[in-house]
Amino acid sequence: MSQALDPSLGAPSPVSRHAVTFVLITVFLDMVGFGLIMPVLPKLIEDVGHVTIDRAAIIGGWMFAAFSLAQFVFAPLMGNLADRYGRRPLLLLAIFGLGMDFILMALAPTLEWLFAGRIVAGICGASWIIASAYIADVTAPDDRARAYGYMGAAFGVGFVIGPAIGGLLGELGPRVPFWVAAGVSLLNFVYGMAVLPESLTVENRRPFDLWRANPFGAFRVFATYRGVLPMVLVLGLFFFSTSVYTAVWTFWGIAKFGWSEVMVGATLAIFGLIAGGFQGGLTGPATKRFGEWNVALFGLACATLVVLGYGFVWSVPGVFALMILHGPEGFVHPLLTALLTKRVPEDAQGELQGGISAVTNLAMLFGTVFFAFIFGHFWAEDRAWRSTDVAYWVAAGCLVVTTALFLVLKRSEKA
């Protein structure tokens, strides 16, 4: 048996190297599966629903809202169950359920079935929460920023490979990527059954509390521990603002630049490559050199400027230039998560991750629907003035507020 991750991360408990590898692979493959379907989802919605691109964007926004609502309702339950029964059974269950969901989506004959598939995917999306709690179990508090950076890198690399393959597979038909995503998830489940041990020791488990496990009861963790609630507000606003990409990126590229499925996949892949490079390669060194607060603030500032830039760019080379500048945004999520984990005890890490997921998914639920409606409204064919870019302008304003609030918290922390 060896220390989790690597010796420099200061893992407090002996865990098989295969187990930590599996956790990172889980994040990676979940993102591969999600990325596989993104380039073809607009076409699938258009074909199944017999709608135009502006209507497909709104329907896509509602589908993601269904996904986020399911995560909001079930993530705290899964996080609390993981605190009671351990990480292994809940993580494996989520992975298996995701594989079954992709099969459902591949066979869906109507929009209603597509919505059902998104709901199941939201329920099973707790794999990210439990993986985060697993990392917290085996990593020293001061090293979690780097550990979550590794997770972010796995997320980013998965987002490189998934959309690129999904765009190519989409040429064979909009349902083909769903079958491939199902196979990827089920293979990961088999691997996990073989190598994943339990990371949560018996003494760190706590009784299951239904009140704390419901989506609103999960917010109790934010009020219980000092300094958590304001940081969670920043995190929620950040996810609300950046949900503009989930809501409109694919539809925006098709409407503004005439992108094909392959081009959509290529842009998402490049975005993932840049995000993974920053999160995995630079989060640790940047945090060590400048501190968590300063690096997170820099990431928020870059996110604000870049989303505004997308609202004014008029060429594909300009889009790629902005994507390079987009990289530091990848610092924000792992660093805010690391700051939050330091504010709660070890026996509440699963509850914290469940609560964070509840907030972020609620933020993305409202944000995705909000920005999808903005895009659909201003790009509808009957509008006197049409624009594909208004959603990005509004998102930039939201990020200004988010950055200002974080700066206030930073100053109060140093006072």
Amino acid at 196: L
156-180 residue pLDDT tens: 777 778 888 888 888 888 888 888 8
Task: Round to whole Å and give the CA distance between 141 and 138.
Answer: 9
Indicate the pLDDT class of residue 7, thresholds 50, 70 and 90: very low
pLDDT(375) > 50? yes
**10 Å Cβ neighbour count for 257?**
16
Residues 6 or more apart in contact with residue 93 via CB below 8 angstroms: none
Domain ranges of the chain: 17-199+218-414
**Does the structure show a pLDDT above 90 at 124?**
no
Are the beta carbons of 19 and 199 closer than 8 angstroms? yes
Separation between Cα atoms, residue 365 and residue 371, nearest integer Å = 10
The token pair that represents 356 in the structure block: 């964070």
Looking at the DSSP assignment, which residues form a beta bridge with residue 3? 14
Residue pair 98/121 in contact by the 8 Å Cβ criterion: yes
Strands, DSSP E only, in 59-210?
none
Calculate the average pLDDT of the chain: 82
What is the CATH topology of the domain spanning 17-199+218-414?
Growth Hormone; Chain: A; (1.20.1250)
pLDDT digits (tens, 9 = 90+) for 245-284: 989 998 999 999 999 888 988 888 888 778 777 877 788 8
State the chain's maximal CA–CA distance in angstroms.
67
CB 370 within 8 A of CB 68: no
Classified as helix, coil or strand, 375 is helix
- Mapped onto helix, strand or coil, the DSSP state of residue 187 is helix
State the Cα–Cα distance between residues 340 and 76, nearest whole angstrom: 16
pLDDT level of residue 88 (50, 70, 90 thresholds): confident
Instruction: Tell me which H or E stretch contains 151.
Output: helix 144-169
Please identify which residue in the block is written with the tokens 């993986």: 131
The answer to whether residues 374 and 390 touch, using CB atoms and an 8 Å cutoff, is: yes
Sign of CA dihedral 299, 303, 309, 314: positive
Q: What is the pLDDT of residues 132-157, one digit of tens each?
A: 788 777 777 777 777 777 777 777 77
